[in-house]
């Protein structure tokens, strides 16, 4: 089994791919050559809000702002492996120490 999840992510007019390995997410502008496991459609504004921790994945689903098709196990576990930015826990307006 391929250790990578290749999610084709349609965000607005972008056609980028998210390649996920052990909760590490890379954006690929060219096809990395893996089979696509998941198709994700979401407007850029909402996906960015999710990525930055401002809105939950369940809220996106409830508001019909995200459409996910493909592997059932990946769809169900998406909240675990697509966990957002490393900075999503930082409060808005927070100042660096020092």
Q: How far apart are CA 89 and CA 84, in angstroms?
A: 10
Q: How far apart are CA 63 and CA 15, in angstroms?
A: 22
Q: Under CATH, what is the fold of the domain 5-79?
A: Nonspecific Lipid-transfer Protein; Chain A (3.30.1050)
pTM over the 0.85 mark = no
- Write the DSSP symbol of residue 36: P
- pLDDT attached to residue 63: 94
**Hey, where are the domains in the chain?**
5-79
- pLDDT attached to residue 64: 94
- pLDDT attached to residue 11: 62
Per-residue pLDDT of the chain (98 residues; tens, 9 = 90+): 455 566 666 565 566 677 776 667 777 777 777 777 888 888 888 888 888 888 888 899 999 998 888 889 888 888 777 767 776 665 655 555 65
Backbone angles phi, psi at 49, to 5 degrees: -60, -40
């Amino acid at each position: 089994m391929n250790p990578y999840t290749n999610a084709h992510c349609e965000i607005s007019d972008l056609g980028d791919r998210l390649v996920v390995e052990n909760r590490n997410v890379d954006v690929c502008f060219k096809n990395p050559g893996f089979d696509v496991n998941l198709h994700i459609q979401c407007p850029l504004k909402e996906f960015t809000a999710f990525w930055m921790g401002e809105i939950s994945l369940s809220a996106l689903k409830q508001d019909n702002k995200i459409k996910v098709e493909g592997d059932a196990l990946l769809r169900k576990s998406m909240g675990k492996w697509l966990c957002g930015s490393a900075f999503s826990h930082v409060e808005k307006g927070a100042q660096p120490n020092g």
